[in-house]
Structures are given as structure tokens and as C-alpha cells.
Structure 1
Amino acid sequence: MAEKKIDKARRNFLFGAVRRFKNEDPDQIEASTAECVDLIKQANALYVDGDFEAARDAYRDCLKSDQNDADIRYRLGVCQYRVGKYRQAKLEFERTLRIDRTYQDAFLYLGLTLVRLGKPEKAPALWSQYFNIKAVVVQRELNLQIGLLENGESDPADTIAEAVEKAIEQAGSAVG
């Protein structure tokens, strides 16, 4: 993930002529995400190891240099979710979707977060936008939960969340 980041300083250098033509101030160039690459790698390693508390802090530090990075926002949201900070997780998933409306896993976790916040009736609208061909077990579980919720036959919120979490765990690396 981090190695695929665009070095904004280089991009800004290449578009310097366009900036001069538009009379934009060259000193207002955005900071490079390259500064944060090592921190992102460290945060991702903590995330993979399941140290969500430490990863959360590292992702927050990354946001200081680039607040509009959907990947960092999403991962921070997952960390918030995993440590039980559901309101903060909800905010991060919403921010992720504001930055990138096609971020599939954010729809999944935002719905799951709403279930944890006691609003399972709001999850189907989000989960119906989620599609991941590599996570068939998650798709099946979501379809089942959507059907039950829409028919008013759903389980308690904690049971729904645990079933979806179990499906995510079974899908493994197919879900970010």
C-alpha cells in the first residue's frame, strides 16, 4: 500500500508549468506522502500483527502529513473498530467514503460499525453497496443479514456483528 503512494512533491514538480500558467503560488505545494512512507509501513506491520492500539497512533501521525488519504483513514477506522471505539470508527469510515466513494471495504465496516452502535436497520443500505468477488463468504453473510433485517427477522445487534466479523476473519486477506 505505502509503496504505491504517489510522491506529491514529484507530481507537483512535473505540474510546475501548469501552476505557473495558472498563476498559482509554488510555495503552496502539498507535502509529499513520501515523508510518511516509513511510518505507514510501520503502522501496516502493527495492523497486520493485530496491535491495533499502536497502529492507530501511527496512522494518526500519518494523517498529519496527508489528511485526504483514504487508505490511512480506512485503516485507522478499522483500528478504532477493533479497540471498541465505534463512534470514532464511524467517523473515519465516513471520511474514507467522502474521499473515495468506491472504497468497498469502508461500506462493509461502516455498516458493521452501525450495527455495533445499535443501529442495525441502517446497515443494509451500506452493505448492499459492498461487492468483493474475492470475499464470497462475506458476501453470503451480508446477503443473509440484509434479508433478515429487511424482513424484520434479524438477530440481536451483537449476534449480527459477530457473524459478519467471523465471515471477515474467514475471508482473510480478501478484506482489507
Structure 2
Amino acid sequence: MADKINKARRNFLFGAVRRFRKEDPDQPIAATADTVDVIREANAAYVDGRWEEARDGYKEYIQSDKNDADVRYRLGVSLYRLGMYRQAKLEFERCLRLDREYRDAFLYLGLTMVRLERPEKAVPLWKRYFNTNAIPVQRELNLQVGLMESGVADPPEEVAESVEQAIAQCGTAIG
């Protein structure tokens, strides 16, 4: 995540302030260091499954960078895991506005739609998901899409649980 900070743009925007203050433009910027620490802690919480801490860290980071698709996605997953499906939906949609090809966002946005009892909205989203490193998820999505399209789908709760189990089998293959 630290690599995503655009120092050239930041230096351009704050260059006049630094010249006025007679600061060295090559020195590290304190706000950047703060955001790196925030994102590092949020990512650690995310990996450990401490969803509330991850959510709080990502929300704090977003105050300084609203256009980071990875952070939007991870915030969405954190919200999803906390059962905050409407908020998760918004974050996955924001992620996809920033990066139209973010495949895991399609997966979780579809799953969120199922949790919101709108499984018909999941079908076109899951059709856009493709991950050869997550074969159990691909199989489960294909099965669920086929059942939904043929009108014999399970109740939304069971669909969501089946997809979540497939995601759990894949571990790190899903961001």
C-alpha cells in the first residue's frame, strides 16, 4: 500500500507551502508516514479477521485517499463480515467505479446482494467474476448461477453460506 502514495502529486500540491516555510522538498512528509502506519495496521487487522479494527483503519485511511480501490474493497469485506451489508454494497460499488475489472469486488458485491435478499442481482455480477486460483468458488458460483437462472435456487441465506464456504476453502486466493 505504501507504494500507492503519489509523492510527485503531493509535492506539486504542497510545493508552495514548503517553499514559504523553507522546508526541504525531499524530506518525508509526516502525513504520508501517518497514512502508511494506518493502512499497515488496518491490513494486519484484516488478515487476522479483526473486522472492526480493519473497518476503522480503512475508514481513517480513506479520509486521506478516497480513490484507492484496494482499500475500498477491503473496507467492503470488513463491513460484510460485520453484517453491515448495505454499507458493504456501497464500498464494493465505489471500488468498481475506481477499477471496473476488480474481480473480487464482483464476487463480494454479488454475495452482498444475496444477503440483501436480491439474489437476481448477483447473477450478472458473478458472471463477471473469474479466478483460476479459486476453483471451489468458481464451481459454487457456476452452480448457484445455474440454479438461479433455472428458477430452482435455494433460499438466499443458504446460497450465501455455500459461497462463503467456498471462499473459506480458497484462503489467500481471494483478496
Judge same fold: TM > 0.5, yes or no. Answer: yes
Structure 1 unmatched runs, 5+: 17-23
> What aligned pairs does 1:109-128 form with structure 2 within 5 A after superposition?
109-128=108-127
Question: CA-atom RMSD, angstroms?
Answer: 2.0
Partner of 1:157: 156
Q: Does 1:144 find its partner at 2:139? A: no
Partner of 1:21: none
Q: Does 1:84 find its partner at 2:51? A: no
> What aligned pairs does 1:1-176 form with structure 2 within 5 A after superposition?
2-5=1-4, 7-11=5-9, 13=11, 35-176=34-175
Q: State the Cα distance separating 1:4 from its structure 2 match.
A: 3.5
What is the CA–CA distance in structure 1 between the aligned matches of 2:70 and 2:16, rounded to whole Å?
A: 27
SS of 1:131 mapped into structure 2 = coil
Do the aligned partners of 1:8 and 1:33 also contact (CA within 8 Å) in 2? no
1:34-87 alpha-carbon deviations (Å, 9 max, x no partner):
541111110011011111011100100000100011011000000000000000
Amino acid at match of 1:67: K
Q: Percent identity?
A: 58
Do the aligned partners of 1:33 and 1:66 also contact (CA within 8 Å) in 2? no
1:104-133 alpha-carbon deviations (Å, 9 max, x no partner):
000000000000000011101000000111
Structure 2 unmatched runs, 5+: 18-28
Amino acid at match of 1:170: Q
Cα gap change, 1:72 to 1:33, in 2 (>3 Å): farther
What is the CA–CA distance in structure 2 between the aligned matches of 1:80 and 1:149, rounded to whole Å?
A: 26
Cα gap change, 1:83 to 1:111, in 2 (>3 Å): same
SS of 2:154 mapped into structure 1 = coil
Amino acid at match of 1:10: A
